[in-house]
Amino acid sequence: MEENLKDQKMPEVDPLTNDKFVPEHEFDGIRELANNPPWWLTFIFIFSILFAYVYLAKYHFFSDGKVGLNEYEAELYAVQMQEEAAAGVEAVAAEGGGGISIETVKVDYSVPLTAQTDIDKGAKVFATNCAVCHLAEGQGLVGPNLTDEYWIHGGSFENIMTVINNGVIEKGMIAWKGQISDAQIHQVASFITTLQGTNPPNPKAPQGEKYVPAAE
């Protein structure tokens, strides 16, 4: 009896939906229908895959954006800088008899900072935002080597500040102006000046032209 049932030809089309059955896709009396998903579901699926690739490239390959942890650390550090700046103004006001606002304290962004506390803070900013492209010791990966004497966009401190502020979009370097505070940009640029001649392992080949500081 069972052999006779197996020998019976199974229908190729479902009488309820008029969809064809997938050949040999049957288990426990359940047969699979060869019906395609709706076009809108297929579109969402393809769009999700493309979005995932774009997101991965933007946030992890080119670092042209911040993941949640980067944003949290940047905001936390910005608040810390504001508090330190406010504390500095209060100290100056106390010494001078008051009557001073935070705008009165001017910072010269054309020269690197030399205080070790600023260099250490610049190192933290570098580790959080720059190491993904330049590596932890500045030897270069996607971005150029920051430890040699060769620079693509000039090696003066003013050049370094300009590149960090404005970026070089065509080469994957984003503009950090507005992403981190001016104080952080000043600190990380100052930290970068301390990397020259450190000779880290596996440095990237020199790029650009050798920078020779102008004689004073």
What's the CATH number where 176 sits?
A: 1.10.760.10
122 and 185 Cβ atoms separated by less than 8 Å: no
Q: What is the pLDDT of residue 104?
A: 46
Q: What is the pLDDT of residue 213?
A: 81
- Examine residue 89 and state whether it is found in any structural domain, yes or no: no
Q: Which residues contact 102 (CB under 8 A, 6 or more apart)?
A: 85, 86, 89
Given a cut of 50, whether residue 100 has pLDDT beyond it is no
- Examine residue 115 and state whether it is found in any structural domain, yes or no: yes
Stretch 70-92: mean pLDDT: 66
CA-based nearest residue to 150, from 159, 142, 181: 159
pLDDT in tens, 28-38: 777 777 777 88
User: How far apart are the C-alpha atoms of 62 and 70, rounded to whole Å?
Assistant: 14
Residue for token digits 């001649």?
197
Q: What is the pLDDT of residue 63?
A: 65
- Examine residue 121 and state whether it is found in any structural domain, yes or no: yes
- Examine residue 160 and state whether it is found in any structural domain, yes or no: yes
User: How far apart are the C-alpha atoms of 181 and 193, rounded to whole Å?
Assistant: 19
DSSP secondary structure string for all residues of 100-165: --GGGS---TTS----HHHHHHHHHHIIIIIHHHH-TTS--SSSPPSSSSEESS--SHHHHHHHHH
Query: 179 to each of 71, 184, 187, 191, how far by Cα in Å?
Result: 9, 10, 14, 18
Instruction: Between 132 and 108, name the one with better pLDDT.
Output: 132
Instruction: Between 80 and 40, name the one with better pLDDT.
Output: 40
pLDDT in tens, 135-170: 999 999 889 999 999 999 989 999 999 999 998 888
Range with lowest mean pLDDT among 46-50, 62-66, 91-95, 114-118: 91-95
Q: What is the pLDDT of residue 171?
A: 82
Q: What is the pLDDT of residue 102?
A: 41
- Quote the pTM value: 0.56
- Examine residue 182 and state whether it is found in any structural domain, yes or no: yes
125 and 180 Cβ atoms separated by less than 8 Å: yes
User: Predicted confidence band at 214 (pLDDT cuts at 50, 70, 90)?
Assistant: confident
Q: 134 lies in which domain range?
A: 107-210
Range with lowest mean pLDDT among 21-25, 49-53, 81-85: 81-85
- Examine residue 50 and state whether it is found in any structural domain, yes or no: no
Q: What total number of domains does the chain contain?
A: 1
Q: Which residues contact 144 (CB under 8 A, 6 or more apart)?
A: 134, 150, 151, 152, 204, 207, 208
Q: What is the pLDDT of residue 151?
A: 93
- Examine residue 185 and state whether it is found in any structural domain, yes or no: yes
- Examine residue 165 and state whether it is found in any structural domain, yes or no: yes
